Chains A and B, each alone.
Chain A
Amino acid sequence: MIVNRQPPLVGIEESKAWIWLICGHDQRWPSAVRRFVPDLIPQHDSVEVRVCDPTDTPGVLIKQSRAIVLWQIEPENLGQWCERIAKTSLAHPGVLQLAATSELAELSPLEQSAISELGVSAILRHIEQLPKLANMIRAYFVVS
């Protein structure tokens, strides 16, 4: 029998398309994700980057068992963000959640551990940290 199937041929065969949701109002992280996403995904997979309001996230995720959600957290409303993260973890356990802070905001170690407990896999502060997640994100796509 033949093993080691080749990757799909674009335009001829089907390839997987994933969703990367960026929830927040800042333009900093959408630009960064669009810039680095080609280096973060496995070959032959496609990713659709969508920016949405945090309140719309549950609706967008309804038909997605696997997706990446990047929350642009504002420390002043941390409680609301924690609630959204917790709800997403419960309703969509297969979704990979990332948290990012705005340009100059900083989360305390206690706040960071709180949102990690709720299901966030990585907390980012600067956009140059995004390429460092390449292995984790590729592994997530491959396993999915």
Chain B
Amino acid sequence: MAAGTKIRTLARLLDASDTPLWVIGPAGNLVYLSAGVGTWLGIDAEQLLDRRSVAGSAISDDPLDYVAASMSPPPGFFGRGTASLTIQPPPLGGRKITPLEVRFVRVGQADTALTVAVGGGFRDVGSSSELRDAVAVRQRLDWWRKRHAGIATIATAGVSPAARRLRARLHVAGCTRTHIAFFGPEGSGAESIASRIHQLSAAGEPIVTVNGPLMDAELLDATVVPLINQLASSADARATALVHDLDQMPVEAGQRLAELLTTFAGRLRLLATCGLRPKILSEPFADEGEEGPMADPDAGAGIIPALLEFVAGFTVSIEPLSSRVEDIPLLAAAMVDARRAAGEGTAERLSRAALDSLVIYPWPKNFVELDEAIRHAIRAAPGEAIGVEHLPLAVRSFHVGEKTIFTKTPKLSLDEALKRLELRMIEDALQQTDGNRAEAARQLGISRARLLRRLDENGDNGASDSRDS
């Protein structure tokens, strides 16, 4: 077997150059970094050696892992053997790092391929529109990771106003130790976001998870007893209760929770997840006897007023995925990156047809369903791109049908419809009689008092009419 020349001369030249250059091994780890990389990042390049350089692979909180992940090649690289990307590492120690234009080149084939990355100005030509889109998505994801690494739960990725609002709220929530309610539909990922916010705002503080719908007062006491013991043993102790589905919690458990929050005011914190539009119960409960929500199992769940003061202070709304359609490509790409980094598959991007299917599908179970679809797809996809055929059957077979007439009509009760029809006829009669109410009532065959009553109910009886006779 022929041997190459010694590498020492090249290594000396590379170290003397200030151009950043690094090599990623077949396993996705950084195996070489030139001195220029250290200069560019402002750290000792040795610290990055052996770290995973795969998009989305920074699973730990170590900022250097984020930097190593950001130095990975873009989607489509392994198929083409070369690609360019602007690398945007996240800040290190509060210091911003200048983005760097990088050319990636594959050396070797398949399992033994090395990736050589060289900083500098290059120009890619001839790449397909689909790959350019995938690279653009990667750039946006890198920007999101760079700017929002602290709250980087995937649900916050996106460019829609809803995604921007969510990120802004979570940034504030992560800086504040206060009661917080997360409002979102089923599958919105509110639980994982709440856990992340707890880590950011009160790291190390004991937390107990409470399943709201299953609670009664005694079971709640039994669940939170470790927290209560700590809070009772020391006046400085603090704790957090993470309550899932607070709006489904039975009234008596809710009242007990409110008592505990009042008793340990300022020390026991409530993080609660609720539906998008939770039911608010009205007081009193105890005096309502058999008519009250305590007696009616269907009415016995909701947020009681005593808890409202705790959950209304700081709220975070998580919009359903169907109202964040423009974020779906970015969210899906982030999920593909994360799954690929975890070794669940080899696909690194979604084909345009697959993205179209994801965009068209209405996602009734939101982010959780999207994540499950991506998990299914990445396991089914043998190559570098996920196609429509790799998506779950429910997603790829979803069709909007051949319906041609679309009408947007809110739900309306029969009483409301009749009331509005009656009012509309009164309006028409008044117009025909030039505002004469007595004549309008005669035309409609009703009494003048009834006509006035209907106008009163609609708040339209303010102006007097001189021709009322």
Contact = CB atoms under 8 A, between A and B. Distances in A.
Contacts of B455: 2
B234 to A, nearest CB: 52
A103 interface: yes
A48 B405 contact: yes
Contacts of B403: 34, 49
A137 B289 CA distance: 53
A50 B409 contact: no
Given A6-B424, A10-B409, A103-B356, A128 B326 contact: yes
A46 B405 contact: yes
Given A2-B460, A6-B420, A9-B417, A128 B359 contact: yes
**B interface secondary structure, majority:** helix
Nearest to B430: A2
A5 B359 CA distance: 37
Given A28-B356, A35-B360, A49-B404, A13 B424 contact: yes
A38 interface: yes
A128 B328 contact: yes
B265 interface: no
Interface in B327-384: 328-329, 352-353, 355-356, 359-360, 362
B352 A38 contact: no
Interface residues of A, number: 39
A48 to B, nearest CB: 5
Contacts, number: 98
Interface string B175-213: 000000000000000000000000000000000000000
A44 B406 contact: no
A75 B323 CA distance: 31
A2 B362 CA distance: 41
A106 B136 CA distance: 14
B277 interface: no
A5 B129 CA distance: 50
Given A31-B399, A103-B352, A6 B404 contact: no
Residue from A9, A36, A45 with most neighbouring chain B CB atoms (10 Å): A9
Interface string A51-65: 000000000000000
A21 B85 CA distance: 40
Contacts of A105: 129
A43 B406 contact: no
Given A12-B421, A127-B359, A41 B406 contact: yes
A26 B352 CA distance: 14
Given A6-B423, A35-B360, A17 B405 contact: yes
Nearest to B463: A1
Contacts of A43: 408-410
A130 B356 CA distance: 12
Interface string B99-141: 0000000000000000000000000000011100000000000
B401 A34 contact: yes
B407 A36 contact: no
Contacts of A104: 128-130, 352
A35 B417 CA distance: 28
A37 interface: yes
Contacts of A50: 404
Contacts of B401: 34
B400 interface: yes
Nearest to A101: B129
Given A103-B352, A105-B129, A44 B408 contact: yes
Contacts of B417: 9, 12
A138 to B, nearest CB: 10
B325 interface: yes
Nearest to A44: B409
27 contacts: A1-B463, A2-B458, A9-B420, A10-B407, A13-B424, A15-B407, A28-B356, A31-B360, A32-B359, A34-B406, A37-B406, A44-B407, A44-B408, A47-B405, A47-B407, A48-B406, A49-B404, A49-B406, A104-B129, A104-B130, A126-B355, A126-B356, A126-B359, A127-B356, A128-B325, A129-B326, A131-B326
Given A37-B406, A126-B356, 12 more contacts: A2-B430, A2-B455, A9-B417, A12-B417, A15-B407, A32-B360, A38-B406, A103-B356, A104-B128, A126-B359, A127-B359, A127-B360
Interface of B: 128-130, 325-326, 328-329, 352-353, 355-356, 359-360, 362, 399-401, 403-410, 412, 417, 420-421, 423-424, 426-427, 430-431, 435, 455, 458, 460, 463
Interface of A: 1-2, 5-6, 9-10, 12-13, 15, 17, 28, 31-32, 34-38, 41-50, 103-106, 126-132
